[in-house]
Amino acid sequence: MARDPRYFELAEARRDGYFNIGEAAAASGVSAKMIRHYEQAGLLPKAGRTVAGYRIYREADVHTLRFVRRARDLGFSVKEIGALLGLWSNRRRASSEVKRLALKQIAALDAKIAELEAMRRTLQHLAEHCHGDHRPDCPILDDLAEGAAA
130 in any annotated domain: no
Structural domain including 5 reads 1-78
86 in any annotated domain: no
Please name the residues in contact with 92: beta carbons below 8 A apart, sequence gap of 6 or more: none
103 in any annotated domain: no
Average pLDDT over residues 13-35: 91
51 in any annotated domain: yes
Structural domain count, the chain = 1
User: What is the pLDDT at residue 7?
Assistant: 55
Average pLDDT over residues 112-136: 94
46 in any annotated domain: yes
Average pLDDT over residues 56-79: 96
Residue 46's CATH number: 1.10.1660.10
Amino acid identity at 74: L
Give the pLDDT confidence of 79-96 residue by residue, as tens digits: 999 999 999 999 999 999
Q: How many CA atoms lie within 13 A of 141 on its CB side?
A: 6
Instruction: Say yes or no to pLDDT of 1 above 70.
Output: no
Instruction: Say yes or no to pLDDT of 8 above 80.
Output: no
Q: How many CA atoms lie within 13 A of 1 on its CB side?
A: 1
Instruction: Say yes or no to pLDDT of 124 above 60.
Output: yes
